[in-house]
Structure 1
Amino acid sequence: MNRPLFTLIVIAVVVLALLGMWLAWRARARRDSGVRTAESAPAGEVLASFAERVLYVSTTPADDPLARVSIPGLRYRGYACLTVRTDGVTLEVVGEAPVHFAADQILGYGTAGRRAGKAVESGGLALLRWSADGRELESSFRFTDRADQVRFAAAVDRVAGTGSEPDTDAAPRPQTTPTAPSQEDEK
Protein backbone atom coordinates (compact mmCIF):
# COMPACT_ATOMS: atom_id res chain seq x y z
CA MET A 1 0.00 0.00 0.00
CA ASN A 2 1.41 3.36 -0.94
CA ARG A 3 1.60 6.35 1.41
CA PRO A 4 -1.16 8.58 -0.15
CA LEU A 5 -3.71 5.73 -0.07
CA PHE A 6 -2.90 4.95 3.56
CA THR A 7 -3.29 8.65 4.44
CA LEU A 8 -6.71 8.78 2.76
CA ILE A 9 -7.86 5.68 4.64
CA VAL A 10 -6.78 7.15 8.00
CA ILE A 11 -8.50 10.46 7.22
CA ALA A 12 -11.69 8.62 6.22
CA VAL A 13 -11.71 6.61 9.48
CA VAL A 14 -11.21 9.76 11.58
CA VAL A 15 -13.99 11.60 9.71
CA LEU A 16 -16.37 8.65 10.16
CA ALA A 17 -15.58 8.47 13.89
CA LEU A 18 -16.21 12.20 14.35
CA LEU A 19 -19.42 12.01 12.32
CA GLY A 20 -20.62 9.09 14.45
CA MET A 21 -19.93 11.00 17.68
CA TRP A 22 -21.75 14.08 16.38
CA LEU A 23 -24.80 12.05 15.30
CA ALA A 24 -24.88 10.20 18.65
CA TRP A 25 -24.76 13.49 20.59
CA ARG A 26 -27.62 14.92 18.50
CA ALA A 27 -29.66 11.74 19.13
CA ARG A 28 -29.02 12.05 22.87
CA ALA A 29 -30.12 15.72 22.80
CA ARG A 30 -33.36 14.71 21.02
CA ARG A 31 -33.97 11.90 23.53
CA ASP A 32 -33.56 14.28 26.48
CA SER A 33 -35.44 17.23 24.96
CA GLY A 34 -38.51 16.45 27.10
CA VAL A 35 -36.68 17.01 30.40
CA ARG A 36 -37.79 20.39 31.75
CA THR A 37 -36.40 22.42 34.60
CA ALA A 38 -38.05 25.41 36.29
CA GLU A 39 -38.80 28.37 34.01
CA SER A 40 -38.16 31.12 36.55
CA ALA A 41 -35.24 31.67 38.87
CA PRO A 42 -35.77 30.97 42.58
CA ALA A 43 -36.05 34.23 44.54
CA GLY A 44 -36.01 33.02 48.14
CA GLU A 45 -33.43 33.54 50.85
CA VAL A 46 -29.92 32.42 49.87
CA LEU A 47 -28.85 29.40 51.92
CA ALA A 48 -25.50 28.82 50.20
CA SER A 49 -23.71 30.33 47.23
CA PHE A 50 -20.63 29.10 45.40
CA ALA A 51 -19.27 31.49 42.76
CA GLU A 52 -17.09 29.62 40.25
CA ARG A 53 -15.48 27.54 43.00
CA VAL A 54 -17.28 24.39 41.95
CA LEU A 55 -16.76 22.13 38.95
CA TYR A 56 -19.98 20.92 37.32
CA VAL A 57 -19.26 17.38 36.11
CA SER A 58 -22.42 15.96 34.52
CA THR A 59 -26.09 15.13 34.88
CA THR A 60 -27.01 11.46 34.73
CA PRO A 61 -30.07 9.27 35.35
CA ALA A 62 -30.16 8.18 39.00
CA ASP A 63 -29.94 4.51 38.03
CA ASP A 64 -27.22 4.91 35.36
CA PRO A 65 -24.30 7.03 36.60
CA LEU A 66 -22.27 6.64 33.41
CA ALA A 67 -24.93 7.82 30.92
CA ARG A 68 -24.83 11.58 30.46
CA VAL A 69 -28.10 13.49 30.02
CA SER A 70 -28.06 16.25 27.40
CA ILE A 71 -30.21 19.15 28.64
CA PRO A 72 -29.59 22.77 27.57
CA GLY A 73 -27.39 24.41 30.20
CA LEU A 74 -26.25 21.03 31.58
CA ARG A 75 -24.65 19.47 28.50
CA TYR A 76 -21.03 20.39 29.08
CA ARG A 77 -18.65 20.10 31.98
CA GLY A 78 -17.18 23.32 33.37
CA TYR A 79 -16.81 25.66 36.30
CA ALA A 80 -20.11 26.92 37.62
CA CYS A 81 -21.84 29.36 39.89
CA LEU A 82 -24.21 27.49 42.18
CA THR A 83 -26.80 29.15 44.41
CA VAL A 84 -29.09 27.28 46.79
CA ARG A 85 -32.15 29.24 47.92
CA THR A 86 -35.07 28.33 50.15
CA ASP A 87 -37.28 27.86 47.07
CA GLY A 88 -34.85 26.16 44.69
CA VAL A 89 -31.39 25.95 43.15
CA THR A 90 -29.77 27.88 40.30
CA LEU A 91 -26.82 26.47 38.39
CA GLU A 92 -24.92 28.49 35.80
CA VAL A 93 -22.09 26.70 34.03
CA VAL A 94 -19.66 29.22 32.55
CA GLY A 95 -20.67 29.84 28.93
CA GLU A 96 -24.10 28.22 29.30
CA ALA A 97 -27.58 29.50 30.09
CA PRO A 98 -28.58 29.28 33.78
CA VAL A 99 -30.65 26.29 34.85
CA HIS A 100 -33.18 26.58 37.66
CA PHE A 101 -34.59 23.82 39.84
CA ALA A 102 -37.74 24.50 41.87
CA ALA A 103 -37.88 23.24 45.44
CA ASP A 104 -40.50 20.62 44.51
CA GLN A 105 -38.03 19.13 41.99
CA ILE A 106 -35.24 18.72 44.56
CA LEU A 107 -35.09 15.20 46.02
CA GLY A 108 -31.98 15.61 48.16
CA TYR A 109 -28.24 15.29 48.35
CA GLY A 110 -25.79 12.43 47.90
CA THR A 111 -22.16 11.63 47.21
CA ALA A 112 -20.41 9.46 44.69
CA GLY A 113 -16.95 8.51 43.55
CA ARG A 114 -17.65 8.33 39.83
CA ARG A 115 -19.98 9.79 37.26
CA ALA A 116 -19.85 10.29 33.51
CA GLY A 117 -16.84 12.52 33.01
CA LYS A 118 -15.08 12.12 36.37
CA ALA A 119 -13.76 9.51 38.79
CA VAL A 120 -12.44 10.55 42.21
CA GLU A 121 -12.17 9.19 45.75
CA SER A 122 -15.26 7.77 47.42
CA GLY A 123 -17.62 10.60 48.35
CA GLY A 124 -15.58 13.14 46.38
CA LEU A 125 -18.47 14.20 44.15
CA ALA A 126 -21.51 15.98 45.53
CA LEU A 127 -24.83 15.00 43.95
CA LEU A 128 -27.92 17.15 43.58
CA ARG A 129 -30.79 14.68 43.21
CA TRP A 130 -33.79 16.08 41.34
CA SER A 131 -36.74 14.97 39.25
CA ALA A 132 -38.25 16.20 36.02
CA ASP A 133 -41.03 14.74 33.92
CA GLY A 134 -41.08 11.50 35.91
CA ARG A 135 -37.30 10.92 35.67
CA GLU A 136 -34.96 10.96 38.64
CA LEU A 137 -31.69 12.66 37.76
CA GLU A 138 -28.43 13.49 39.54
CA SER A 139 -26.21 16.46 38.78
CA SER A 140 -22.68 16.01 40.10
CA PHE A 141 -20.21 18.61 41.34
CA ARG A 142 -16.62 18.63 42.55
CA PHE A 143 -15.94 21.17 45.29
CA THR A 144 -12.39 22.38 45.91
CA ASP A 145 -13.03 22.57 49.65
CA ARG A 146 -14.70 19.80 51.67
CA ALA A 147 -16.34 22.41 53.92
CA ASP A 148 -18.13 23.83 50.87
CA GLN A 149 -19.44 20.36 50.06
CA VAL A 150 -20.82 20.06 53.60
CA ARG A 151 -22.49 23.51 53.33
CA PHE A 152 -23.99 22.46 49.98
CA ALA A 153 -25.34 19.24 51.51
CA ALA A 154 -26.98 21.06 54.41
CA ALA A 155 -28.54 23.67 52.11
CA VAL A 156 -29.90 21.08 49.67
CA ASP A 157 -31.32 18.97 52.49
CA ARG A 158 -33.05 22.06 53.86
CA VAL A 159 -34.63 22.82 50.48
CA ALA A 160 -35.65 19.19 49.96
CA GLY A 161 -37.02 18.97 53.49
CA THR A 162 -35.10 15.78 54.20
CA GLY A 163 -33.09 17.19 57.09
CA SER A 164 -30.67 14.27 56.93
CA GLU A 165 -27.06 14.62 57.92
CA PRO A 166 -24.40 14.62 55.21
CA ASP A 167 -22.70 11.32 54.37
CA THR A 168 -19.84 10.23 56.62
CA ASP A 169 -17.45 10.61 53.68
CA ALA A 170 -18.40 14.29 53.41
CA ALA A 171 -18.12 15.28 57.06
CA PRO A 172 -16.91 13.49 60.14
CA ARG A 173 -19.61 12.98 62.74
CA PRO A 174 -18.90 13.87 66.34
CA GLN A 175 -17.91 11.00 68.55
CA THR A 176 -20.74 10.05 70.90
CA THR A 177 -19.28 7.09 72.77
CA PRO A 178 -17.06 7.73 75.78
CA THR A 179 -13.41 6.93 75.29
CA ALA A 180 -10.95 5.53 77.76
CA PRO A 181 -8.54 8.14 79.15
CA SER A 182 -5.19 8.26 77.45
CA GLN A 183 -1.85 8.30 79.28
CA GLU A 184 -1.69 12.05 78.80
CA ASP A 185 -5.09 12.50 80.48
CA GLU A 186 -3.89 10.60 83.56
CA LYS A 187 -0.91 12.89 84.16
Structure 2
Amino acid sequence: MTQALAVALMIALAVALLASLLLAWWVRTRRDAGLAAPVGEAPAGATEIASFETLYVATTRAGEPLERLAIRGLGFRSRADVTVLSTGVAIDLTGQPRLYLAADRIADVAQATVTIDRVVESDGLTRLSWRLDDGTVVDSYLRPQDASARALADAIGGILPTLHTGSDA
Protein backbone atom coordinates (compact mmCIF):
# COMPACT_ATOMS: atom_id res chain seq x y z
CA MET A 1 0.00 0.00 0.00
CA THR A 2 1.38 3.36 -0.95
CA GLN A 3 1.62 6.26 1.44
CA ALA A 4 -0.94 8.26 -0.58
CA LEU A 5 -3.46 5.41 -0.40
CA ALA A 6 -2.95 5.07 3.38
CA VAL A 7 -3.53 8.81 3.86
CA ALA A 8 -6.64 8.68 1.69
CA LEU A 9 -8.02 5.74 3.72
CA MET A 10 -7.36 7.58 7.02
CA ILE A 11 -9.11 10.71 5.73
CA ALA A 12 -12.08 8.63 4.52
CA LEU A 13 -12.28 6.89 7.91
CA ALA A 14 -12.19 10.25 9.75
CA VAL A 15 -14.92 11.69 7.50
CA ALA A 16 -17.09 8.58 8.01
CA LEU A 17 -16.63 8.80 11.79
CA LEU A 18 -17.56 12.50 11.87
CA ALA A 19 -20.57 11.87 9.64
CA SER A 20 -21.80 9.09 11.95
CA LEU A 21 -21.40 11.36 15.00
CA LEU A 22 -23.37 14.14 13.30
CA LEU A 23 -26.08 11.70 12.24
CA ALA A 24 -26.37 10.32 15.79
CA TRP A 25 -26.72 13.83 17.27
CA TRP A 26 -29.28 14.79 14.60
CA VAL A 27 -31.35 11.68 15.41
CA ARG A 28 -31.14 12.50 19.15
CA THR A 29 -32.28 16.11 18.61
CA ARG A 30 -35.20 14.93 16.49
CA ARG A 31 -36.16 12.37 19.16
CA ASP A 32 -36.10 15.04 21.90
CA ALA A 33 -37.58 17.91 19.85
CA GLY A 34 -40.84 17.84 21.83
CA LEU A 35 -39.11 18.25 25.20
CA ALA A 36 -38.64 21.79 26.51
CA ALA A 37 -37.02 23.25 29.60
CA PRO A 38 -39.01 25.73 31.71
CA VAL A 39 -37.43 29.07 30.83
CA GLY A 40 -38.43 32.04 32.96
CA GLU A 41 -37.97 34.08 36.09
CA ALA A 42 -38.90 33.34 39.68
CA PRO A 43 -42.13 34.91 40.92
CA ALA A 44 -41.93 38.32 42.55
CA GLY A 45 -41.30 38.05 46.27
CA ALA A 46 -39.17 34.89 46.09
CA THR A 47 -36.27 35.14 48.53
CA GLU A 48 -32.79 33.76 47.92
CA ILE A 49 -31.77 30.98 50.28
CA ALA A 50 -28.42 29.94 48.78
CA SER A 51 -26.35 30.33 45.64
CA PHE A 52 -23.83 27.88 44.16
CA GLU A 53 -21.32 28.01 41.32
CA THR A 54 -21.58 24.67 39.54
CA LEU A 55 -20.66 22.75 36.46
CA TYR A 56 -23.84 21.63 34.72
CA VAL A 57 -23.05 18.11 33.48
CA ALA A 58 -26.11 16.68 31.74
CA THR A 59 -29.84 16.05 31.76
CA THR A 60 -31.06 12.49 31.28
CA ARG A 61 -34.34 10.63 31.55
CA ALA A 62 -35.02 9.75 35.19
CA GLY A 63 -33.20 6.57 36.14
CA GLU A 64 -31.15 6.50 32.92
CA PRO A 65 -27.93 8.35 33.85
CA LEU A 66 -26.13 7.31 30.66
CA GLU A 67 -28.73 8.55 28.14
CA ARG A 68 -28.30 12.30 27.53
CA LEU A 69 -31.33 14.26 26.39
CA ALA A 70 -30.90 16.93 23.71
CA ILE A 71 -33.26 19.48 25.26
CA ARG A 72 -32.65 22.97 23.90
CA GLY A 73 -30.30 24.75 26.29
CA LEU A 74 -29.49 21.58 28.25
CA GLY A 75 -27.71 19.48 25.63
CA PHE A 76 -24.13 20.41 26.51
CA ARG A 77 -21.99 20.85 29.60
CA SER A 78 -21.67 24.38 30.88
CA ARG A 79 -20.75 26.50 33.85
CA ALA A 80 -23.88 27.41 35.79
CA ASP A 81 -25.03 29.45 38.74
CA VAL A 82 -27.71 27.69 40.77
CA THR A 83 -29.85 29.86 43.04
CA VAL A 84 -32.09 28.17 45.58
CA LEU A 85 -35.09 30.39 46.22
CA SER A 86 -37.99 30.09 48.63
CA THR A 87 -40.23 29.13 45.68
CA GLY A 88 -37.93 26.93 43.59
CA VAL A 89 -34.56 26.72 41.87
CA ALA A 90 -33.13 29.04 39.21
CA ILE A 91 -30.36 27.72 36.96
CA ASP A 92 -28.33 30.17 34.89
CA LEU A 93 -26.25 28.31 32.30
CA THR A 94 -23.64 30.27 30.39
CA GLY A 95 -25.18 31.74 27.23
CA GLN A 96 -28.67 30.35 27.87
CA PRO A 97 -31.90 31.87 29.21
CA ARG A 98 -32.60 31.32 32.91
CA LEU A 99 -34.33 28.07 33.83
CA TYR A 100 -36.74 28.27 36.71
CA LEU A 101 -37.95 25.09 38.39
CA ALA A 102 -40.85 25.81 40.72
CA ALA A 103 -40.74 23.72 43.90
CA ASP A 104 -43.82 21.71 42.81
CA ARG A 105 -41.95 20.68 39.65
CA ILE A 106 -39.07 19.11 41.62
CA ALA A 107 -39.55 15.37 42.20
CA ASP A 108 -36.34 14.54 44.12
CA VAL A 109 -32.86 15.71 44.94
CA ALA A 110 -29.98 13.43 45.85
CA GLN A 111 -26.29 12.88 45.38
CA ALA A 112 -24.84 10.74 42.60
CA THR A 113 -21.49 9.46 41.42
CA VAL A 114 -22.04 8.68 37.72
CA THR A 115 -23.74 10.26 34.74
CA ILE A 116 -23.02 10.46 31.02
CA ASP A 117 -19.31 11.21 30.45
CA ARG A 118 -18.67 12.03 34.12
CA VAL A 119 -17.59 9.84 37.02
CA VAL A 120 -16.58 11.56 40.25
CA GLU A 121 -15.81 10.63 43.83
CA SER A 122 -18.63 8.97 45.74
CA ASP A 123 -21.63 11.33 45.92
CA GLY A 124 -19.76 14.18 44.17
CA LEU A 125 -22.69 15.17 41.93
CA THR A 126 -26.09 16.60 42.83
CA ARG A 127 -28.94 14.89 40.97
CA LEU A 128 -31.98 17.13 40.63
CA SER A 129 -35.06 15.24 39.40
CA TRP A 130 -37.79 17.44 37.95
CA ARG A 131 -40.82 17.32 35.67
CA LEU A 132 -41.02 18.74 32.16
CA ASP A 133 -44.26 20.39 31.06
CA ASP A 134 -45.52 17.08 29.65
CA GLY A 135 -44.91 15.28 32.98
CA THR A 136 -41.73 13.47 31.90
CA VAL A 137 -39.34 13.22 34.85
CA VAL A 138 -35.72 14.05 34.03
CA ASP A 139 -32.53 14.13 36.08
CA SER A 140 -30.14 17.08 35.84
CA TYR A 141 -26.65 16.57 37.23
CA LEU A 142 -24.69 19.42 38.80
CA ARG A 143 -21.14 19.48 40.14
CA PRO A 144 -20.74 22.27 42.73
CA GLN A 145 -17.40 24.07 42.44
CA ASP A 146 -17.00 25.76 45.83
CA ALA A 147 -19.29 23.62 48.00
CA SER A 148 -20.19 19.98 48.43
CA ALA A 149 -22.87 18.18 46.48
CA ARG A 150 -24.48 17.47 49.86
CA ALA A 151 -24.72 21.22 50.62
CA LEU A 152 -26.49 21.86 47.30
CA ALA A 153 -28.83 18.88 47.78
CA ASP A 154 -29.64 19.98 51.34
CA ALA A 155 -30.35 23.56 50.24
CA ILE A 156 -32.77 22.35 47.55
CA GLY A 157 -34.29 19.75 49.86
CA GLY A 158 -34.90 22.49 52.42
CA ILE A 159 -37.51 24.17 50.21
CA LEU A 160 -39.31 20.87 49.67
CA PRO A 161 -40.74 19.91 53.07
CA THR A 162 -42.13 16.53 52.02
CA LEU A 163 -39.07 15.47 50.03
CA HIS A 164 -36.55 12.93 51.23
CA THR A 165 -33.03 13.76 50.03
CA GLY A 166 -30.77 10.80 49.58
CA SER A 167 -27.82 9.38 47.76
CA ASP A 168 -27.38 7.33 44.61
CA ALA A 169 -24.33 5.09 44.58
TM, length-normalised to structure 2: 0.86
1:163 to partner: Cα distance: 4.5
Aligned length: 166
The alpha-carbon distance between structure 1 residues 97 and 20, as it changes in their structure 2 partners (threshold 3 A), is: farther
CA distance in 1, matches of 2:164, 2:63: 21
Could you say what secondary structure the match of 1:160 adopts? coil
1:115 to partner: Cα distance: 0.2
CA distance in 2, matches of 1:159, 1:33: 31
The alpha-carbon distance between structure 1 residues 97 and 23, as it changes in their structure 2 partners (threshold 3 A), is: farther
CA distance in 2, matches of 1:168, 1:22: 32
The alpha-carbon distance between structure 1 residues 97 and 27, as it changes in their structure 2 partners (threshold 3 A), is: farther
The alpha-carbon distance between structure 1 residues 135 and 165, as it changes in their structure 2 partners (threshold 3 A), is: closer
In structure 2, runs of 5+ residues without a counterpart are none
1:100 to partner: Cα distance: 2.4
Could you say what secondary structure the match of 2:121 adopts? coil
Counterpart of 1:109 in structure 2 is 109
Q: Does 2:104 correspond to 1:72?
A: no
Higher relative contact order (CA 8 A, sep 6+): 2
TM, length-normalised to structure 1: 0.79
Counterpart of 2:51 in structure 1 is 49
CA distance in 2, matches of 1:168, 1:107: 15
Letter in 2 for 1:49: S
In structure 1, runs of 5+ residues without a counterpart are 170-187
- Residue deviations 1:90-136, cap 9 Å, x none? 21222333322222211121111110020012211111111112321
1:154 to partner: Cα distance: 2.4
The alpha-carbon distance between structure 1 residues 150 and 113, as it changes in their structure 2 partners (threshold 3 A), is: closer
User: Which stretch shifts more, 156-165 or 72-81?
Assistant: 156-165
CA contact (8 A) 2:125 2:144 kept: yes
Counterpart of 1:181 in structure 2 is none
Counterpart of 1:137 in structure 2 is 138
- Residue deviations 1:7-39, cap 9 Å, x none? 111111111111111121121112112222324
User: Which stretch shifts more, 99-108 or 7-16?
Assistant: 99-108
Counterpart of 1:37 in structure 2 is 37
Counterpart of 2:81 in structure 1 is 81
Q: What fraction of aligned residue pairs are identical, expressed as a percent?
A: 34
1:166 to partner: Cα distance: 5.3
CA contact (8 A) 1:48 1:151 kept: no
User: Which stretch shifts more, 92-101 or 76-85?
Assistant: 92-101
- Residue deviations 1:144-163, cap 9 Å, x none? 3444x333222321333335
Who wins on radius of gyration, i.e. which is larger? Answer: 1
Could you say what secondary structure the match of 1:65 adopts? coil
Could you say what secondary structure the match of 1:29 adopts? helix
RMSD, aligned CA: 2.1
